[in-house]
Structure 1
C-alpha cells in the first residue's frame, strides 16, 4: 500500500500544523483517522477474512444512515434502519459477534490515538505561534489576565507560592485496557508523532506506515479482554508506569514553562530553583482497603517498596547522566571549599579510608574532575539506599559501599546543593541550571518515596475493631476471649504496618488515613485510637509528619453535616494538639461518586459546593488551614469533566491554594500517557488554581465569570437542588422497579467477566442499591447508553423553576456568569450528547416483564426529553454541544462505531438471560464492554 501520509507538498503540511482556522487545523486529524481506518481494514481482511470486514462495513454504514436520518428528522427511516440492524445482529453467531466487536473496538483504539496525537499537535502549534493568542487554560493566559487586572509580578509570585496540586492515582476499576495494550498504544502514538515531522523521506514514511500496520496486527492478535482479574500488584505496576512514561520527564519541562511564562507576561527573570514546589503525587493503589479484600499488609509493603525502587532507579540514571556530562576540571575552574570538604569526608568513609584502594582508584579515574568524583559518591549512596551492593569486592564499587545510604531526601538535596552552589560560584551557572536543577526539582517533589500512599478503610470496620478490642471487662476477666475476627485482625495489622513504615527512612510515605463513610467525630477519633494501639505516632514528630485521619463525607446527608462534625472535632482540646503538630492543617475529602448515586447530579454538585464553602468558614473560625481532597471520577456522573473548569468553579474565598484530586481509570491514560499531554494537564491545574486564588476577573471592571455568587443565584440553586433531590429519590432510589430494571437492562452483572479491576463491584455479596458501589452504577447506565447519573432530575428541577416569573431569565444569567452552574450544565450536556434513547430502548427490552419495562423506561425517557429541552433553553442553543463543536464532531465520528457494538451486546445479553451462559458468550460480552468503553471514552 502506498504511503497514506505523503503530502502534496511539505509547505502544505507545515501550513496545516501551524493553522488556526478550524478546517485547516483539523485536516491532519481527519487524515490520521482516515489512514488508520484504512490500515485497520487491511489488517481485518488479512487476519479475520473478507466476510468480517464486509460485515463491519455493512453495520457501520447502516449506523451512519440511521444517524443521518435522525439528524434530518426522518424518524421512521431511522427506526426502520434500527430494526434492520437489530435483525442483522440477532442472526450473528457468537464467535462472529466477538470478532465484530473487536473490530469496532479497534477502530476506537485508533481514533483515540489520532485524537490524542492531535491534542499534542495543537499544543505545539500554539506554543510556536507568532501571535498574541494563548491556549485556553494556559499559565500564560492566566498571568496575562492577572497583569491586565492590575496584579503585580510580586503579587503573582506570592499567589504562586500558595499553590500545591496533588494528583492521587487510584485503581478503581475504570481502566479496561490491559498493560500490554497500553504499551502498544504508546508505540503507535510515537509513530504518529514521527509522521508529523517535516520533511520526511518517502522511505521513512513507508517505514512508519509499515510499523503501524505491524502494531495493529500485533494488537489484533493480543487478547484485549483479560483472562483473569488483575491483581493489586498488576495495578501497582500500571500506576507506576506513568512516572516512567511521562511524569519524570514532564516536571522539568513544566517548571521551565512557568519560568518562561513569567518572563513573557511580566518580563520577570526567575530561576527554576527559585520556584516553590507546585506539584506532589499520591496513590491509593495498594493502600485502599475499603471493600477490597485483596489489599493486605503485604500488598501495602510491596506498593511502598515498588514506588521507592522505581524512583531510586530513575535517580540513579539521572545521576549517571550528570557524571557523564559534568566534566568540568579543577584546572579550568575552581571548586568550592565546602564541596572539597564533603568529598574528603566521603573518601574517609570508604572501605580503606582516604588512602585506601577505592579512594585512590577514584582519584586516578577522575584526577582533576572533582564534580565527577563527588557525583560518583552520590551515585554509590543512591545504590546503597536502593539496597544494591557490589558482587566484586575488589572493585571500586565495593570500596564505595563504605558510604552509607541516604536516610532522608534532605541528605540528598544537601549534596546536590553543594554541587549547584559550587558551579554557580565559579562561572558555571548554565551547567547548574541544565544538569543539577532538574534533579533537585525531582528530589524536592518525590523525596525518596515517589508518592504518598494513602490508606483507606470504612468507618464501620474501625468501629467493629474497637468494640472487639475493648470487649474485656471485670465480669469477663475469668473467661478466655474469643478469637479476633479476620476483619479486626487486618485493621490492627494495617496500623502495625504503618508504624513499621514510619520507623524507616521515609516516614512521609504514609501520612493520610482516609475514612470512608465518615459521619461523626467518633469516626475520626476511632482512627486515632486504633493508630496508637498499633504503635503509630499520630502527631508529627521530627521528620515524621504523623498520620492524619481524613474523613471522607460521601452521602448527601454527610456532606450537609460535615461542617458541624468538623467544628466539633477541631475544637476538641485533645485533637487540637494533633492539629498543632500538623501545622494547624487538616485534610477533608468530599465524595463525588456516592453523593451523585445518593442524590443525583444537581444535588450532588450543589451540596459539595456548599460543604466546600462551609468547611472553609468553619476552618477559619477554628484557626485551621483546610485542604480539600476531591474524589472525582472519570465520568460526569462521578465528578468528571474538565478539571480546570471544576477548580475555577470552587467557591470564592474557599480555596487556599492546595488541593488533592483523584485521577482514576481511563483518565490516567488520557492525561499521562505522554510528556506533552501530562505537561498540559498539570499546567491546566496550576493555572486554574492560580486563577481561582487571584480571581483577576473579579478585579476587572469588564470581567465576566468572576465566581461571585449572588444571593438570588444561591436561592435558585437551593430550590433547584431541593426539587431535583426529591424527584431523584422518589423516582430512582425509592422505586424498587428501577433497581430491578438496572440489574437486567444493563450489563452490570457482566462487569465481573470483563475482569477490569481487582476490587469487587459490591461491598458484600448482597444485591441491593445500598450495597452497589457507585462505579458499577455509573458503568451500567453508560454501557446501556442512558448515562442516567449524568442528567436525571436536572430537567425536572429546571422546568419547575422556569415557571416562576423571570425564572428562566435568571437561570440564563447564571449560565452566562456563574462558573459552578456553567460547569454543571456543560457536564449534563456532555452526558446527554453521548446517550441514545433508541439504543437504550433495546436494552429495556431485555426485561421479561413488559409492564415493568414500560413503566421504568417511559419514566426515564420523559425525564431525558425534559432535561434535553431544559438544557437547550438555559444555554440558548438549538442543539446539544452547539458551542463545543470539537466534542460534537468527536461524538459524531464515534457513534457509527459504538452503535453496532451496542446492538451486538444487547443480542448477547438476551441470549445469556435466556440460559446460554457459556464462556464464549461471556467473552464476547466482555469484548463489547471493552469496545463501548473505548468508544465513549468512559467506563464508569
Structure 2
C-alpha cells in the first residue's frame, strides 16, 4: 500500500511534469530532421513490440524507416539514429532536472531520519548529552574523485541548474527557451579532458553548490542544538583527488598537483570575496566600513594571482573584529549572516578541499631503489638488504635527494613530495596533508613514503602528513592486521603517529575486493578487517579512522551509504566517516543543495 502511494506521488511530482515539458522538447527543431521529436515515441513503440516478437534489430530499423520516413541511404539512417541519441540525451537531462526540482517533496516520502529528527530521538531517550559530546568531536569527510566521462561541461551544468529553478517555478516560457538552448548545446567536451579539466569540473560543484550548502547545513545544526557551546568546523570536510591521484594516471604530474592546489584556493577566495561584497552593501556603518573594504581588497588580489595568498588568521581576525563592532555599536544588525560567513571560513579555511596525494606502492619502491643506488647502499635491488637493514635505512638514515639526478616517474615522485611544503604554506596544512598508498602489501608500503617525506621534504622536522595505506584486495585485507601491528612497533613510526594526535587513517577499497571475491565477500571482508584493525589500534592506544573507497554503482561499493555505516558493529572505531564520492555520485546524490544537505544529514546520523 505504501509503495502504491509513493508511486502515485512520484508520478504527480515527476512523471506528469516531465510529460508536459517533454511535449515542448519534442517540438524543438533539429537541422535536417525537423520532425525527429515526433518520431521518437513511434520508434519506441515499434522497437518494443517488434523486439518482444523476437525480430532482429536491423530488420526492425529498416521496417521503421520504410513505414514512417523517407530515409533511404545508409548515411541518412546513421544520421537519424545519431540525432535520436542527441534527443534522448537531452531528455535525460530534462528528466533529471524535473526530478531534482521535486527532490524536497520526494524525500519526505521516505522514512529517513533528518538531523532534527535525530535530536528529538536523542532527547526522548534521555541521551542528548552523550549525543552532543559525540557531535563536538565527530567528523565526516567527503572525498571527491574524478571520472571524467561522467561529467557534463560547465556550460551544460549551468543550463541544468537554470532548468531546475525554472521548473520549480513552473516558468513555461523560460523553460521553452532554455530547452532550445539545451538542444543546440553540445553535451560532450570538444576534447579529451585533462586532469586540470577534471579538477575544474569538481571545483564547479564546490563553488556553485557546496560552499553555500555547507553553510546552510552547519547553520541548521547549530539552530537545532541552541543553548550549547557547539563549535565543530571539522564536522563537514571535503577531500579532493583530481590533480592529486596519480595511481595509473601518467598525466597527473607535480605541476598538475600544484596547479590544482592553486585553483582550489583561488576559487575559495572568489567565494569569500563575493560574500564580502554582499556584506559591504549591508554593513554600511562607519566603524566597520574600513575593515570590510580592506579585507575585500586583499581577497580580490588572491583571486587572479596565484602568488598572492592570505593566511587563515588574515581572514578570520577582521571578521571577528567586525562581529564585535556589530554587537557593541550596531544592535547586532546582520549578525546571524556574519556568523554564518565566519563558520564557512572556519570550515573551508584557505584550502576549500584537502588535496590528497595517491600513488601506487610499486612506484615508491622503484623510487626508493633508485635513491639507494645513488647512495651506493645497494647495487641493483632492494632484495640485497635484509628486512632489518631496510627498516633501519628508511627510519634512521638521513639522505639528501637531488631531484635533477633522476628521470621520468621517479623524478616526478620526488618533485611531488618536495613541493608539499609549498602547498601547505600557500593553502594551510589542512590543504594537503594526506598521502595514500594504493596496493599496500607490507610495512614497506608505508615506510617507503615515510622515508621519502623525510628525505625530500621535512628532513629532521615532524612530518605534518597522514600516511594512509590502502588495502584493496581480499589478500591485502587479510594481511592488514599483521602489517599495522608491525608498523606500530617501530619506534620512529609510532612517534610519527603521536605527532599526528594518535590517529591512524586506514583506507579500505571496495571495487578490487569485489573483483577478488564478489560483492558479499568484499563487504564481509571490509567489515571484519575494520573490527580487527580497530582492535590493533586500541591495543597500541591509537585511534583508528577508516576511509572507505566506495564507487557509484553497487558493484563498486555504492548503494545505501546510510545503511552501510549504520550497520557497523560496536567493535569498529567510529571517530569519523570518510568516503570517496565518484563523478556519477557527485551529480546524482550531491549535485544540488537539497541533495547535498539531505545526504550529508544521512551520513551524520548514521555515524552519530
TM-score category, normalised to shorter length? 0.7 to 0.9
Shift of 1:144: 2.7
Per the normalisation by structure 2, the TM-score is 0.86
Matched residue, 2:398: none
Shift of 1:488: 1.1
SS in 2 for 1:604: helix
Q: Is 1:299–2:274 an aligned residue pair?
A: no
Query: Pairwise mapping of residues 300-699 of structure 1 onto structure 2 (< 5 A)?
Result: 300-328=257-285, 369-386=286-303, 407-425=310-328, 428-429=331-332, 431-434=334-337, 436-472=338-374, 473=376, 484-504=406-426, 506-536=428-458, 540=462, 546-690=464-608
SS in 2 for 1:376: helix
Across the aligned residues of Structure 1 and Structure 2, the Cα RMSD in angstroms comes to: 2.9
SS in 2 for 1:228: coil
Cα distance, 1:378–1:106 mapped onto 2, change above 3 Å: closer
Shift of 1:239: 0.9
Deviations along 1:723-776, one digit per CA (max 9) or x if unpaired, are xxxxxxxxxxxxxxxxxxxxxxxxxxxxxxxxxxxxxxxxxxxxxxxxxxxxxx
Note if contact 1:382-1:405 (Cα within 8 Å) is conserved in structure 2: no
Cα distance, 1:318–1:61 mapped onto 2, change above 3 Å: same
Q: Is 1:34–2:6 an aligned residue pair?
A: no
Cα distance, 1:320–1:170 mapped onto 2, change above 3 Å: same
Query: Pairwise mapping of residues 812-831 of structure 1 onto structure 2 (< 5 A)?
Result: none
Deviations along 1:899-922, one digit per CA (max 9) or x if unpaired, are xxxxxxxxxxxxxxxxxxxxxxxx
Shift of 1:118: 1.8
SS in 1 for 2:603: helix
Shift of 1:177: 2.7
55, 60, 64: which one pairs with 2:44? 60
Matched residue, 2:237: 280
Shift of 1:321: 2.1
Q: Is 1:171–2:146 an aligned residue pair?
A: yes
Matched residue, 2:396: none
For residues 257 and 585 of structure 1, the distance between their equivalents in structure 2, rounded to whole angstroms, comes to 29
Query: Pairwise mapping of residues 254-265 of structure 1 onto structure 2 (< 5 A)?
Result: 254-262=217-225
Matched residue, 2:194: 231
Cα distance, 1:507–1:158 mapped onto 2, change above 3 Å: closer
Cα distance, 1:249–1:110 mapped onto 2, change above 3 Å: same
Q: Is 1:107–2:107 an aligned residue pair?
A: no
Deviations along 1:407-455, one digit per CA (max 9) or x if unpaired, are 5313432332233234335573453222x21121111111111111011
Note if contact 1:519-1:558 (Cα within 8 Å) is conserved in structure 2: yes
Note if contact 2:417-2:452 (Cα within 8 Å) is conserved in structure 1: yes
Which ranges in structure 2 are unaligned for 5 or more consecutive residues? 64-73, 381-403
203, 207, 221: which one pairs with 2:184? 221
Which ranges in structure 1 are unaligned for 5 or more consecutive residues? 1-19, 67-77, 127-132, 196-207, 263-267, 329-368, 390-403, 691-940
Matched residue, 2:118: 142
Note if contact 2:233-2:346 (Cα within 8 Å) is conserved in structure 1: no
Query: Pairwise mapping of residues 720-869 of structure 1 onto structure 2 (< 5 A)?
Result: none
Shift of 1:46: 5.2
Cα distance, 1:220–1:474 mapped onto 2, change above 3 Å: closer
SS in 2 for 1:534: helix
Cα distance, 1:384–1:100 mapped onto 2, change above 3 Å: closer
SS in 2 for 1:588: strand
Matched residue, 2:66: none
Per the normalisation by structure 1, the TM-score is 0.57
Cα distance, 1:32–1:415 mapped onto 2, change above 3 Å: same
SS in 2 for 1:551: strand
For residues 367 and 231 of structure 2, the distance between their equivalents in structure 1, rounded to whole angstroms, comes to 48
For residues 83 and 286 of structure 1, the distance between their equivalents in structure 2, rounded to whole angstroms, comes to 49
Higher relative contact order (CA 8 A, sep 6+): 1
Shift of 1:551: 0.6
- Bigger Rg, structure 1 or 2: 1
SS in 1 for 2:359: strand
Q: Is 1:194–2:169 an aligned residue pair?
A: yes
Worse overlay, 466-475 or 307-316 = 466-475
Note if contact 1:588-1:628 (Cα within 8 Å) is conserved in structure 2: yes
Shift of 1:487: 1.5
